[in-house]
Structure 1
Amino acid sequence: MTQLHASAPPATRGDHEARDALRRVRSEVAKVVVGQDEAVTGLLMALLTRGHVLLEGAPGTAKTLLVRALSQALSVEHKRVQFTPDLMPGDVTGSLVFNASTSDFSFRPGPVFTNLLLADEVNRTPPKTQASLLEAMAERTVTIDGQPRDLPNPFLVAATQNPIEYEGTYPLPEAQLDRFLLKVELPAPPRDAEIEIVSRHAAGFDPSDLQAAGLRAVATAEDLQAGMAAVRRVQVHPQVVAYIVDIARATRHSPSLALGMSPRAATALMSTARAWAWLNGRDFVTPDDVKVMAPSTIAHRLTLRPEADLEGVRVGAVLASAVDSVVVPR
């Protein structure tokens, strides 16, 4: 493994405690969500880097259960919004409500005022309502009647979409896709995992009662804050920075892509590589960390040319080719 790193400050005891707590979160969520370790890790990395996650999976792959279990293991608040064609922006962000007793307007917060927001089937609501999330995701505030209101910290949007059924949906525009730090696919579980799922239900598992399943809080918002600070201290060697930029430039020159990586995408790749390195016990980023995180961080931000799409070219294959074309620093 290539290991380029600058001299880094030693990890503090708080760093180790926070990392151990977040590792326990993964084990705790696995008590109720089987075979989705990648999605759990992706959500944790997004929290550590103040990002958001797009979860893509067919119905019944535990997307809602995953967010509920994560919020309980982290002892933070979560809310769920079912996105529908008639959902209005104020239904998400909140609105001013007239109070007859005071003859004045008061603010009624929407479900976006929480720590983990599950935006279920986000592509089923019109663009105007989808756009209501943009300010919240980018600025962590919402503006009502000209007054900005801060959202809680931590704050993460976990948006879901069904990759199969597109009738009656509104595809997310590139600007909104670019706001998601990661896109994580939740596939159907392998045979052994599916046997475990069905066996748990046969034994009386109730997804609506997570405490009965033995799920408990093993980390806190303070652990997340300590983890965020530790991730920001992870060192990125100038050659690794150049490696990320060269990957971005390679996507922009790909003949199969109409839209390559933006500078924001390059910064996102650095952030996720940092979080991956820290969760794996290192205080420096390697080129291998960048390679591991490139598919889930970058693929959803790329747009194929129409002719490449017609030929059946896959975005993942184009990205892999771009990464392979860049010389790995040593």
Structure 2
Amino acid sequence: MRPSAPTTSELEHLVEVGERLAATMSAVIEGKPEVVRTAITVMLAEGHLLVEDVPGVGKTMLAKTLARSVDASVRRVQFTPDLLPSDITGVSVFNQDNRVFEFRPGAVFANVVVGDEINRASPKAQSALLECMEEHQVTVDGQTHALPHPFMIMATQNPVEMEGTYPLPEAQRDRFMARVSVGYPDPRAEVEMLDHHGAASPLDDVRPVTDAEGVAELIRVVRRVHASEAARRYVVDVAAATRSHPAIRLGASPRATLHVLRAARARAALAGRDHVLPDDVQALAVPLLAHRIILTSEAHVSRLTPAGVVEDVIARTRVPGRR
């Protein structure tokens, strides 16, 4: 049975909260409205966000701003080469008084987990996130522990050519719903940043817009946004096109297809609509698909970029209802 579509009042409330979140975050991350909007979309779509860029452009600030904008439990993990998997997931400790092992939760037991410089940890530590990102649970010593809801990981990383980095494996990149790049601010935004951020941290003025239960309720509204058969077919056609494109060696996975549809529902809801349009898929294609595909050697020689190839895929894929 298909769930009922969101009511007008539910959508209006979601749009209001989304706009307040965007305004709060834009006061700290100046001149990057699309990056802010994508971060909010990923949160409402129950996804995880990867922020990749060179040092000093505000990657960690973006993650911490979103975390502070929601009154929920927040934990930060500083990824370093000596980080252990148990530091992330938790560990069983023997209690001398009770003579039993007790589980001590790790850093992932929070609504929002900020993973700073995730690709500076060893592959063994990075793999500790695989289960919790996909299944929202952690298994330690044969015991499974559920993570809180909502649950979101916002991770930052430096480009792989930077010193001291380990490339994220494909399985982990695929678990991130979207990847965004903050980029350098334009000169006007950078001048405003000096004016506003020079004397104090802008995070000191951030006040929560909603709480964890409020986000969970908005997520339930997003789940009920209608996606027609034509819209779902278009999502599948786009994913299938990445698997047959001559410049792509590894295309989008079925998990990517699910992520695109969930994010398209969130984007539609943030626009006040109760249904998904092809425009939602097109607007989200690059941040949701570019980090998942692997280009061929010939494409690298031709200096093609994953983002450019995804844009080409969108241009080649027929939109339902258009000739």
Does the CA-based 8 Å contact 1:18-1:226 persist in structure 2? no
Does the CA-based 8 Å contact 1:181-1:268 persist in structure 2? yes
Deviation at 1:144, TM superposition (A): 0.9
Decide whether aligned partners of structure 1 residues 258 and 77 sit closer, same or farther in structure 2, where only a CA change above 3 A counts.
same
Q: Distance in 1 between matches of 2:27 and 2:73?
A: 19
**Where does 1:291-302 land on structure 2 (aligned, <5 Å)?**
291-302=282-293
Corresponding position of 2:51? 55
Decide whether aligned partners of structure 1 residues 165 and 200 sit closer, same or farther in structure 2, where only a CA change above 3 A counts.
farther
Does the CA-based 8 Å contact 2:48-2:154 persist in structure 1? yes
**Where does 1:203-242 land on structure 2 (aligned, <5 Å)?**
204-207=199-202, 210-211=203-204, 213=205, 215-242=206-233
Match 2:154 to one of 154, 158, 163: 158
Decide whether aligned partners of structure 1 residues 293 and 84 sit closer, same or farther in structure 2, where only a CA change above 3 A counts.
same
Does the CA-based 8 Å contact 1:244-1:269 persist in structure 2? yes
Match 1:185 to one of 160, 169, 181: 181
Secondary structure of residue in 2 paired with 1:320: helix
Deviation at 1:299, TM superposition (A): 0.7
Ranges in structure 2 where 5+ consecutive residues have no aligned partner: none
Corresponding position of 1:269? 260
1:327 aligns with 2:323: no
1:146 aligns with 2:135: no
Read off the aligned partner of 1:112 and give its amino acid letter: V
Deviation string 1:190-241 (CA, Å, 9 cap, x unpaired) is 1111011111134x2225xx34x3x212212232122111111111121121
Deviation at 1:179, TM superposition (A): 0.3
Q: Distance in 2 between matches of 1:62 and 1:83?
A: 17
Q: Tell me the C-alpha RMSD between the 2 structures.
A: 1.9
Secondary structure of residue in 2 paired with 1:300: coil
Q: Distance in 1 between matches of 2:5 and 2:45?
A: 19
Deviation string 1:275-327 (CA, Å, 9 cap, x unpaired) is 11110111111111110010011111100012221221211121111111111
Corresponding position of 2:99? 103
Q: Distance in 1 between matches of 2:35 and 2:292?
A: 18
1:201 aligns with 2:192: no
Deviation at 1:164, TM superposition (A): 6.3
Q: Distance in 2 between matches of 1:246 and 1:14?
A: 31
Moved more, 104-113 or 94-103: 94-103
Secondary structure of residue in 1 paired with 2:20: helix
Corresponding position of 1:289? 280
Match 2:305 to one of 277, 295, 314: 314
Deviation at 1:175, TM superposition (A): 0.9
**Where does 1:10-29 land on structure 2 (aligned, <5 Å)?**
11-29=7-25
Decide whether aligned partners of structure 1 residues 133 and 9 sit closer, same or farther in structure 2, where only a CA change above 3 A counts.
closer
Instruction: Identify which of structures 1 and 2 has the higher relative contact order when contacts are C-alpha pairs closer than 8 Å and 6+ apart.
Output: 1
Deviation at 1:10, TM superposition (A): 5.3
Secondary structure of residue in 1 paired with 2:291: helix
TM-score, reference length from structure 1? 0.91
Pairs aligned (count)? 320
Does the CA-based 8 Å contact 2:11-2:272 persist in structure 1? no
Does the CA-based 8 Å contact 2:111-2:212 persist in structure 1? no
Identity %, equivalent residues:
42
Read off the aligned partner of 2:61 and give its amino acid letter: L
TM-score, reference length from structure 2? 0.93
Does the CA-based 8 Å contact 2:79-2:115 persist in structure 1? yes
1:30 aligns with 2:26: yes
Secondary structure of residue in 2 paired with 1:17: helix
Read off the aligned partner of 1:50 and give its amino acid letter: E
Does the CA-based 8 Å contact 2:6-2:224 persist in structure 1? no
Deviation string 1:260-279 (CA, Å, 9 cap, x unpaired) is 11222112111111111110
Which 4+ runs in 1 deviate beyond 4 A? Answer: none
Does the CA-based 8 Å contact 2:160-2:167 persist in structure 1? no
Read off the aligned partner of 1:145 and give its amino acid letter: D
Q: Distance in 2 between matches of 1:10 and 1:30?
A: 27
Does the CA-based 8 Å contact 2:130-2:172 persist in structure 1? yes
Q: Distance in 2 between matches of 1:187 and 1:164?
A: 16
Deviation string 1:68-98 (CA, Å, 9 cap, x unpaired) is 2222221112111111111110011110123
Secondary structure of residue in 2 paired with 1:226: helix
1:173 aligns with 2:164: no
Does the CA-based 8 Å contact 2:14-2:269 persist in structure 1? no
Moved more, 80-89 or 32-41: 32-41
Q: Distance in 2 between matches of 1:206 and 1:126?
A: 31
Q: Distance in 1 between matches of 2:42 and 2:87?
A: 25
